[in-house]
């Protein structure tokens, strides 16, 4: 059997001695979109931070591999170089660092020397055009004074420029209006339609199902109290929108 995929097995993790993840089993296949839903405090962001190597989160048991390579034994920068991308819920502002310079440094860190400065600039403007972004955006300081929608568009630009093997979008819909949500959905669709991005696997972490109106998931997982309570198709997200999470808790006997 192929070992391709972002494969998580028996993962237990927590922060400050408090166990939050209580045995997570989940596989994101290349080219597939998985949605991870759950109420606040269920452990969704803990999973994202544990996979990407946040120093405050401690993995106590289980495994996580990316196309067969052990993730948990790698430093955060090496996890990124292996092809793992995290879109933050609240991206940080870095005054003084221009968007274009940041993206150039990120691309060089992951794929040293693969693009000349001229080729990088051409690619950057092509991706910005694809995402409907003004080229003046490249000269602004990173997230400095950005609206919520602009921050998310920048993260989608990062995604398009880096073309990771697997992308974790952690509550990327937080604080976005309808137009910005559509922009995020369009950005993901554009990446998946490209030759270089069609095999990217996505794990979209969300509390509300509204972003899934713009990004159709292949699989939906529901996390409650640090466990995957149930897994299904897109209809599961519709059920949560209709009935809420209490019905899932009652059916599966999970305690939140």
Q: What is the pLDDT along the chain (256 residues), one digit of tens a residue?
A: 468 999 999 999 999 999 999 999 999 999 999 999 999 899 999 999 999 999 999 999 999 999 999 999 999 999 999 999 998 777 889 999 999 999 999 999 988 989 999 999 999 999 998 888 889 999 999 999 998 888 888 888 999 999 999 999 988 777 677 887 888 888 888 888 888 888 999 999 988 788 888 889 999 999 999 999 999 999 999 899 888 898 888 887 644 4
Rounded to an integer, what distance in angstroms lies between the CA atom of residue 17 and that of residue 5?
30
104 falls within a domain: no
**Among 239, 170, 182, 189, CA closest to 213:** 182
76 falls within a domain: yes
Q: Would you state the pLDDT for residue 214? A: 86
144 falls within a domain: no
**Token pair of 83 as six digits:** 């092809």
Q: Would you state the pLDDT for residue 172? A: 78
Q: Would you state the pLDDT for residue 28? A: 97
Q: What is the number of domains present in the chain?
A: 1
130 falls within a domain: no
- Sign, CA torsion 48/225/25/186: negative
Rounded to an integer, what distance in angstroms lies between the CA atom of residue 24 and that of residue 70?
16
132, exposed or middle or buried, with CB in 10 Å at 0-12, 13-18, 19+?
exposed
Per the DSSP assignment, residues forming a β-bridge with 230 are 222
Q: Would you state the pLDDT for residue 149? A: 80
Q: Would you state the pLDDT for residue 256? A: 41
84 falls within a domain: yes
Report field, pTM of the whole predicted structure over 0.75 = yes
In eight-state DSSP terms, residue 234 is: H
Q: 170: alpha, beta or left, given left = phi > 0 and alpha = psi -120 to 50?
A: beta
**Token pair of 85 as six digits:** 């991308």
Q: Would you state the pLDDT for residue 83? A: 94
229 falls within a domain: yes
Could you list the residue range(s) of the whole structural domain that residue 217 is in?
6-90+165-252
CATH number of residue 220's parent domain: 3.40.50.300
Q: Would you state the pLDDT for residue 254? A: 43
83 falls within a domain: yes
Per the DSSP assignment, residues forming a β-bridge with 21 are 13
59 falls within a domain: yes
């Amino acid at each position: 059997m192929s070992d391709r995929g972002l494969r998580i097995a028996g993962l237990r993790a927590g922060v400050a001695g408090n166990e939050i993840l209580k045995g997570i089993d989940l596989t994101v296949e290349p080219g597939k979109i998985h949605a991870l839903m759950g109420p606040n405090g269920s452990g969704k962001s803990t999973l994202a931070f544990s996979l990407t190597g946040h120093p405050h989160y401690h993995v106590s048991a289980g495994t996580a591999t990316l196309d067969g390579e052990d993730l948990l034994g790698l430093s955060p920068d090496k996890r990124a170089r292996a092809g793992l991308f995290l879109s933050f819920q609240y991206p940080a502002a870095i005054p003084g660092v221009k968007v274009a310079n940041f993206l150039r440094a990120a691309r060089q860190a992951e794929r040293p020397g693969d693009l000349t400065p001229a080729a990088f600039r051409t690619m950057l403007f092509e991706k910005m055009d694809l995402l409907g972004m003004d080229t003046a955006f490249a000269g602004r300081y990173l997230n400095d004074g950005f609206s919520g929608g602009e921050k998310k568009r920048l993260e989608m630009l990062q995604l398009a420029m880096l073309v990771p093997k697997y992308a974790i979008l952690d509550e990327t819909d937080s604080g976005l209006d309808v137009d910005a949500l559509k922009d995020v959905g369009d950005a993901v669709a554009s990446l998946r339609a490209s030759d270089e991005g069609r095999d990217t696997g996505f794990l979209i972490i969300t509390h509300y199902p509204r972003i899934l109106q713009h990004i159709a998931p292949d699989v939906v997982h529901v996390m409650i109290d640090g466990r995957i309570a149930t897994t299904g198709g897109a209809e599961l997200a519709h059920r949560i929108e209709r009935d809420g999470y209490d019905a899932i808790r009652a059916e599966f006997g999970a305690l939140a």
